Amino acid sequence: MSERLSDVTHGTDTSAEGAPSDDAGATTTTENDPTSGHATGAASPDAAPGMADSRETTEGTVYTVTGGDWDEVLAEAAGDERIVMNLGPQHPSTHGVLRLVLELEGETVTQARSVIGYLHTGIEKNTEYRTWTQGVTFVTRMDYLAPLHSEAAYCLAVEKLLGIEVPQRAQDARVLLMELNRVSSHLVALATGGMELGALTGMTAGFREREEVLHLLEHLTGLRMNHAFIRPGGLAQDLPADTAEKVLAFLKVMDSRLPDYDKLLTGQPIWRNRLSGVGYLPVDACLALGITGPPLRSAGLPWDLRKVEPYSGYENYEFEVPTANEADCFARYRLRLEEIHQSLKIVRQAVERLREPGPVMVADAKVAWPAQLTIGSDGMGNSLEHVRKIMGQSMESLIHHFKLVTEGFHVPAGQVYVPVESPRGELGFHVVSDGGTRPMRVHVREPSFVNLQAMPAMCEGSMVADVIASVASLDPVMGGCDR
């Protein structure tokens, strides 16, 4: 049991005397608070000003964290037409773990705040206690709708510190996997956005096509999500021999189904009227807030890191960066749909480039994990033949293999920042090495976290029903936001 616990309630905010003024703090109980439903113990007399109160229990020290200054907001709203409403964190239209605190005057939102942290995992800190290669299994779980982009960005940062470049086949395979992942992520954005606005047919269609992508990714990497397939130096192993056949069959399915979205949603008057003019966010507001991805391109700025700062060989692919000028929810919907078409265009080119054989891991034996693995009949680990091959090598080779996997490789001291274009915008990894076998620091510039800053600007002054459409059009993934 952790030594630090917190009593949290998600109802009306209350605040203990001397509580810190933190807008994004979690709502908690105070002693004998009639609105909380239960009471806490006595506050510590030694609590410093601005610090959370604490008390001792049989399980250790318990800290009571308050809900910031919302008690003052409630006091100001008392006696007039304003009310304060909690939307979430368990409401499905807030993507499960995002809490929106809205001040309403009738049906109009006069003030909006987003409260995050309900899905906090400490992934950045966890990577400091694992080897450079093991870090991949953590970062892939941040943005769980686009795990391959996190893997690629992290590995590009490690490779930049090492001063190495992965083989061409590994670069082409990374592009293929990332674009397939972009398609699946955008399909979820369309599906969940439709679900939250009542377009349930759009939801079922979006998840139907997403299953096609996940089946293909499972065939190519072995897993539907959280793949840990992209490794520092290349890939975990080569793609299957029938990759081209499977991908081309998938493209044929998508080509037959994507036109249905224009019939089902784009040209549907109810869908168009529900999104047009809602969640307006012009380009100057995007630049002021650091907004990237589809929200920025829907405001007219063609900023896409695959074009402006190419990585992994994207400069060798032909594709367009779609933009719009309306800067509203409908523009962001149309833009994501067009980006799916562009990603499929890149996938076709990547398949052709992958017809050329080659290595998928760097040749440096001091960095490269084995990439020619043979899976056993149970699908759970190396085959006996592969184990015999390793054991049949020299004792020095066996010892080196053991140390490489258990201790990891050393990365020269330094720091880098490497961004990629994820489905939600600029995903950047700031990685610091002290020369050891583990990262000294990994900090992620996560687009969901940054883009959520736009929520008040998009929602204040609009109707409360439009808050759902506005947040959905940002497509936040709280696993990345609360990393």
Q: Is residue 37 part of a domain?
A: no
Query: Does some domain include residue 79?
Result: no
Residue 118 has pLDDT above 90, yes or no: no
In a domain, 25, yes or no: no
Give the pLDDT band (50/70/90) at residue 266: confident
Range of the domain at 454: 123-363+410-481
Comparison of pLDDT for 417 and 369, the residue scoring more? 417
What pLDDT is stored for residue 382 in this prediction? 62
d(CA 421, CA 153): 9
Q: How confident is the model at residue 245 (pLDDT cuts 50, 70, 90)?
A: very high
Q: What is the pLDDT of residue 58?
A: 79
Question: d(Cα 256, Cα 279) in Å, to the nearest integer?
Answer: 32
Backbone angles phi, psi at 431, to 5 degrees: -120, 130
Find all residues with CB under 8 Å of 299, minimum gap 6, and list them: 281, 282, 283, 285, 286, 324, 325, 327, 331
Reference 151, options 233, 238, 207, 212; nearest CA is 233
What pLDDT score does 442 carry? 93
Look at residue 38 and tell me whether its pLDDT is greater than 50. Answer: no
* pLDDT value at residue 250: 93
Is there a domain that residue 338 lies in? yes
What is the pLDDT, as a whole number, of residue 475?
A: 87
pLDDT in the model for residue 373: 58
CATH number for the domain spanning 318: value is 1.10.645.10
Q: Is residue 107 part of a domain?
A: no
| Domain assignment of residue 466, yes or no | yes
Q: Are 212 and 250 in contact (CB under 8 A)?
A: yes
pLDDT over 90 percentage in the chain: 37
pLDDT digits (tens, 9 = 90+) for 448-467: 999 999 998 998 888 888 88
Tokens describing residue 186:
């955008």
Q: What does the alpha-carbon distance between residue 96 and residue 368 come to, in Å, rounded to a whole number?
A: 39
Question: Chain-wide mean pLDDT for the chain?
Answer: 81
Instruction: Quickly list DSSP for 7-37.
Output: -B--SS----TT----TTPPPB--TT-TTTS
Instruction: Give the count of domains, the chain.
Output: 1
Query: Model confidence over 415-430: pLDDT tens digits?
Result: 999 999 999 999 999 9
Indicate whether 403 belongs to any domain.
no
Determine contact, residues 103/77, Cβ cutoff 8 Å. yes
Instruction: Please give the pLDDT value at position 422.
Output: 93
- At 55 the pLDDT is 82
Query: Which one is predicted more confidently, 134 or 397?
Result: 134
pLDDT digits (tens, 9 = 90+) for 41-78: 444 455 555 566 778 887 788 776 665 665 666 666 55
**In the prediction, which pLDDT does 79 show?**
56
What mean pLDDT do residues 354-363 have?
88
Residue 377 inside a domain? The answer is no
Q: What is the pLDDT of residue 148?
A: 94
Average pLDDT value for residue range 9-23 = 39
| Segment 385-413 mean pLDDT | 77
Instruction: Answer with the residue of higher pLDDT: 85 or 136.
Output: 136
Please give the residue that has the higher pLDDT: either 250 or 84.
250
pLDDT digits 0-9 by tens, 175-217: 999 999 999 999 999 988 888 888 888 888 889 999 999 999 9
